Amino acid sequence: MLRQAVQSSNLKSVGYDYQQNLLEIEFISGGIYQYSSVPKDMYSGLMDAPSHGKFFA
């Protein structure tokens, strides 16, 4: 999955698979996590948020 780099003190990059509603987040600490059943509007909200980390938390 392609991830897009984000400006955040906690998140490094974010990707989304529209067919599977799968969110993938790479953290600055090095971990990569996938979250299933994430609605498209939740992904859009994360990417549009002024603070990606606060939105994610």
pLDDT digits over 19-38, tens only?
Answer: 999 999 999 999 999 999 99
pLDDT (0 to 100) of residue 1: 86
Reference 6, options 18, 41, 56; nearest CA is 56
Please give the mean pLDDT across all residues of the chain: 96
Mean pLDDT value across residues 50-54: 94
d(CA 54, CA 11): 10
How many structural domains comprise the chain?
1
Kindly state the tokens that stand for 36: 């299933």
| One-letter amino acid of 14 | V
Print the domain residue range for 21: 4-56
How far is it, in rounded angstroms, from Cα 17 to Cα 43?
A: 10
Other C-beta atoms closer than 10 Å to the C-beta of 57 total: 7
Secondary structure of residue 32 in the 3-state scheme: strand
